Amino acid sequence: SLLQPPPRAMRVFVPILTLLAFGAAAAKPSAGLKTWGRFSRLPYPGDKAFLHGTFPENFIWAVGTAAYQVEGAFDKDGKGLSIWDTFTRGGNRMATGDVGSDSYHNVHADVRALRQLGVSHYRFSLSWARIFPNGTRGSLNERGAAYYRALLRRLREIRVQPVVTLYHWDLPEQLQRSLGGWSHPDMVAIFRDYADFCFRAFGDDVKLWITVDNPFVVAQHGYGTGVVAPGVKNDPDLPYRVGHNLLKAHAAAWHLYNRHYRPRQRGKVSMALASHWIKPSRTRLESLRECQCSLDHVLGWFAQPLFVDGDYPACMKERLGSRLPSFTQEERERVRGTADFFALSHGATLSFQLINDSLKFGQLEDLDLRMLLYWVSAEYGKPPIFVVQSGWYVLGNTKTEDPKHMYYLKRFIAEALKSIVIDGVNVIGYTAWSLIDGFEWHREYGIRRGLYYVDFNTPDMKREPKTSATFYRNVIHRNGFPELPENRPAQGVFPCHFAWGVSANSIQVETAPTQFADPSVYLWNISNNGELIKLEGFSAPPLRRAAHCADYATVRQQVCLPNVGVNHFHFALNWSALVPTGDVAHPNATLLRYYRCFTRQLLLANVTPVVTLWHHTRQRSSLPAPLDAANKKTPQAFADYARLCYRELGSSVKMWITLNEPNDEMVSYQEGHEMLRAHALAWHVYDREFRRTQGGKVSLALHMDWVEPAFSFSREDVEPAKRVLDFSVGWFAEPVFGSGDYPAGMRSWLRQLNSLELPVFNEKDRRLVKGTYDFFAMSHFSSKLVTHAKEDSYTYTAMLEVQHMIDTTWIMSPRPVVPWGLRKALNWVKEHYSDVPIYVMANGVQEDPARFKDSLRVYYLYNYINEALKAHTLDGVNLKGYFAYALNDQRAPGFGLYGHVHEEVIVKASLSNYRNIIQHNGFPLPGAAPQQCPASPQPCLGCGVLDKSPVVGFLSLVGSGVLITLGLIIYYTTKRHKEYY
């Protein structure tokens, strides 16, 4: 069902009043140069986060079309030929707009679409050749004028205000033939006369006029490159003469309206100017000036004469010289100030398609509407800005599912909202482009830009709302993106015994103790700078005692995790190094001793070890050489290896992960089958032989990034999302936590594809695997969107028939940062496997290792943990623990809470923030009474000292012992002395 538009009476005329405050005199050339510096200083990533909020009460919500693209009826009812009717019949062009979307015969369908969307304004253009077939008043075609009167009447009936464009690229062919079109100065008077008729004939119903759409494309590509009609090329100076005439024609029409029609009709007139956005390739002032010059050559070419001083930008004049026409002083005065608002076009028509590399001046083009809006506001004296065209496109074979277009719309609208709320830019309206599919200029029918799908093969050009139409309708209905309860940060705390941890794929291993490996003798310069001075020719006698766990320097350095604040540490053993031959009868005793020391020292530091037996990697580096993942003997070998680890380390380890992230997309179904058997055998070994005496828990940890339907209201997208989760998570989860078999959806899909790759569990293996868990452990890092509509072959998975994509408003680094995805993943586990205890075993983000003020990771941890709290407190998810990934950059470059510069360990900002969350056990309400929990174990004393040089640590401990001894002697001496009295 379609949402009804909100009441709009008393609303449609109000935006016009905001235009009166604009005055061009405040504009200063090159004032926009500050834009790039200003945005580079905004807080990251907070400024990039999605802003929930609403637009001003009287914001203009519009949608638009252009006559040649949609009207059709190119020779009906007296219409004359336009330059596009001729252009599309020449050269190598394959299609025409003769019929387009046939809006000429489908006004009722277009009006119905407008009513369904709930827009306040509809931007459309008049076909000059439909009204004046040969371009001049003497050829007036009354039936053409009647068509537009009827359209305006229908708009009035549904209370939608028109925004009328006089010229949207379709010049009458007769004017091109007789005069050379816009290259001739006589076009100024001819256009003025055409505008005069339109103002008189339609002006009582029109309050917003656009004289010319995108004069840059008309001049540069119509009369320069020849990419669009009339296709003139080979004169490099002609575009500037055409642009000159377009500006003077616009000014003539504006003065005409201002003098003769504004007093009664009270409308506003502007020129629709389009622009790309550009960012510097280097952080130098020269690059910024080149960016400014690039914008001047596209947008400033027309905007500076209108909004600043009636003349072209200095950069253009310097680089083009005599090629650029000049205005007389009188012409400058006549052109300057002839725009009542800034009509800005942005999106697919220009960006990345019709901007020549030569106009980028070595800089980088970017799609940033927000920065462009700020630049326009700064450069042109804060005018009211009406975005009169914005949007993106999808391929021509796309039907009603166009999530790509929808997410670009979301991005551009969200940027407009930030521009208003954060940047203080006076944006008064937004126009989604376009209402319906049509003829897309030089792209013909190769792309679609409509919110409504048009079936060009049906006689009546049937219109159907697309995904993007439903999205835009909802945005209009809500007037933006109002904050919903689920968008707000949660306040509350986790349970008292919540496991706070940090994960590492592996740990640094020593094969020999290093505490007393240095036999040198040092002199401690205690009276001066405390420096240790090596005494040459002296050495200490050999140490005559057994090695202790504390002798391993790497153990001491890695186990002082109370500095992080965590009470759990997750790391993986190296199976291939621990049992190199695959035979557990001959383990690496040295490495086993090290692991034993490591886990014991963790316990002494009041940190619970969580140990993975096999961290699966694509390179199989952790699998002993004689074994192979698909080998049917591997599961039993793994069970034997697990038994060795349980026996040797089980007194210290009470939480085991058999397999860490085995559900890798590179793993074959047969390999996965054997991995499941290996896990199950290892679980049963613990259950039968060790659980009673050791009291630990065992499970496997699955990688589980969230998969969201690109359009959640579409069954066509919901099913692919379920399918991807079945194949990525359910593949391992369902046999263990569910039925003992692979997901039914997975089997049926493969059967549909006639695939026999998925192994079958016999009854013995089903009983072996089912229920082999004590908790559900997941690694979660990011989220992605899926849709069934194929758009990009690079991100399309043919076997699953799903298109992968992202929401363009998401923060990227390099994977999307989507905190709410964790909450949805946790709820998926709860819905599928009831009240199973869940641990988030790894959660982190990659950031430049050189950024020790790692603001992205601070943002990431805060928001992901907050979503975990929502899952626990609001959704009833049985969440038992959270582990940040990773401990340091050495083992996981870019993910660490600790950084490293040469040999120096650097504490990143995220570490203290994570520690603060742990200390508060979440996000307690301000002023709330402290959570009453049993006393926590004391932290590891002396860790800070032992992190330093081993000798310094040893001497410090000795010094502490001497001080304590002296204190006791003094105390008892004094006490004895007092007893004599």
In the predicted structure, residue 6 carries a pLDDT above the cut 50: no
535 belongs to a structural domain: no
Where would I find the H helices in 388-427? 403-421
In the predicted structure, residue 649 carries a pLDDT above the cut 60: yes
Q: How confident is the model at residue 11, as a pLDDT?
A: 36
User: What Rg value do the Cα atoms of the chain yield, rounded?
Assistant: 36
Q: How confident is the model at residue 714, as a pLDDT?
A: 77
444 and 567 assigned to the same domain: no
Q: How confident is the model at residue 545, as a pLDDT?
A: 56
The span from the CA of 174 to the CA of 176, in Å, is 5
874 and 902 assigned to the same domain: yes
382 belongs to a structural domain: yes
747 and 599 assigned to the same domain: yes
Residue 511 — φ and ψ, nearest 5°? -90, -15
Q: How confident is the model at residue 830, as a pLDDT?
A: 98
Residue 675 has which token pair?
């991995």
Q: Which residues are registered as beta bridge partners of 709?
A: 786
Q: Which amino acid is at 791?
A: E
Band (619; pLDDT cuts 50, 70, 90)? low
pLDDT (mean) for 75-94: 94
The span from the CA of 782 to the CA of 321, in Å, is 53
pLDDT (mean) for 742-759: 93
503 and 462 assigned to the same domain: no
450 belongs to a structural domain: yes
Q: How confident is the model at residue 946, as a pLDDT?
A: 39
Of residues 356, 432, 435, the one with CA closest to residue 389: 432
In the predicted structure, residue 944 carries a pLDDT above the cut 80: no
7 belongs to a structural domain: no
**49 by DSSP, 3-state: which?**
coil
475 and 571 assigned to the same domain: no
pLDDT (mean) for 576-598: 92
Q: Which residues are registered as beta bridge partners of 779?
A: 703, 842
943 belongs to a structural domain: no
Is the backbone peptide bond immediately before 230 cis, with ω within 30 degrees of 0?
A: yes
Of residues 209, 207, 211, 337, the one with CA closest to residue 264: 207
Looking up residue 398, the CATH number of its domain turns out to be 3.20.20.80
**739 by DSSP, 3-state: which?**
coil
Q: How confident is the model at residue 555, as a pLDDT?
A: 72
Q: What angle do CA 19, 20, 22 make, to 5 degrees?
A: 75
Strands 427-433 and 385-391 come out as parallel
In the predicted structure, residue 239 carries a pLDDT above the cut 80: yes
Write the pLDDT tens digit of every residue in 256-279.
999 999 999 999 999 999 999 999
230 and 116 assigned to the same domain: yes
**447 by DSSP, 3-state: which?**
strand
204 and 62 assigned to the same domain: yes
Q: Which of 892, 923, 954 is the C-terminal boundary of a domain?
A: 923
Q: How confident is the model at residue 544, as a pLDDT?
A: 59
> Burial letters for 710-743: b for 16+ Cβ neighbours within 10 Å, e otherwise?
bbeebeebbbbbbbbbbbbbbbbbbbbbbebbbb
> Average model confidence (pLDDT) for the chain?
89
Q: Considering only 126-130, 243-247, 341-345, 711-715, which range has the smallest mean pLDDT?
A: 711-715
Band (220; pLDDT cuts 50, 70, 90)? very high
493 belongs to a structural domain: no
How deeply is 899 buried, as exposed, middle or buried, from its count of CB atoms within 10 A (0-12, 13-18, 19+)? Answer: buried
Instruction: List CB contacts of 685: < 8 A, sequence separation 6 or more.
Output: 639, 642, 643, 646
437 and 503 assigned to the same domain: no
821: how many CB neighbours lie within 10 A of its CB? 23
533 belongs to a structural domain: no
Q: Which of 923, 942, 964 is the C-terminal boundary of a domain?
A: 923
476 and 563 assigned to the same domain: no
Q: Considering only 129-143, 313-327, 659-673, 845-859, which range has the smallest mean pLDDT?
A: 845-859
Q: Is 587 left (phi over 0), alpha (psi -120 to 50) or beta?
A: beta
Band (28; pLDDT cuts 50, 70, 90)? confident
639 and 760 assigned to the same domain: yes
Band (8; pLDDT cuts 50, 70, 90)? very low
Q: How confident is the model at residue 505, as a pLDDT?
A: 82
Q: Considering only 61-70, 536-545, 610-619, 891-900, which range has the smallest mean pLDDT?
A: 536-545
**152 by DSSP, 3-state: which?**
helix
Please report, rounded to a whole number, the percentage of residues in the chain having pLDDT higher than 90: 76
Please report, rounded to a whole number, the percentage of residues in the chain having pLDDT higher than 70: 87
The span from the CA of 738 to the CA of 771, in Å, is 7
Q: How confident is the model at residue 766, as a pLDDT?
A: 97
Write the pLDDT tens digit of every residue in 802-854.
999 999 999 998 899 999 999 999 999 999 999 999 999 999 999 988 777 89
In the predicted structure, residue 765 carries a pLDDT above the cut 90: yes
Strands 342-347 and 796-797 come out as unpaired
Residue 786 has which token pair?
């899926």
pLDDT (mean) for 141-159: 98
Residue pair 345/388 in contact (Cβ under 8 Å)? The answer is: yes
pLDDT (mean) for 221-225: 95
377 and 512 assigned to the same domain: no
Q: How confident is the model at residue 776, as a pLDDT?
A: 98
Question: How many distinct structural domains can be found in the chain?
Answer: 2
In the predicted structure, residue 407 carries a pLDDT above the cut 80: yes
Domain range spanning residue 804? 499-516+545-923
Write the pLDDT tens digit of every residue in 288-318.
999 999 999 999 999 999 999 999 999 999 9
The span from the CA of 149 to the CA of 141, in Å, is 13
666 belongs to a structural domain: yes
The span from the CA of 54 to the CA of 550, in Å, is 60
Residue pair 560/943 in contact (Cβ under 8 Å)? The answer is: yes
pLDDT (mean) for 400-409: 92
Band (25; pLDDT cuts 50, 70, 90)? very low
Band (26; pLDDT cuts 50, 70, 90)? low
790 and 650 assigned to the same domain: yes
Where would I find the H helices in 920-949? 943-946
Q: How confident is the model at residue 814, as a pLDDT?
A: 86
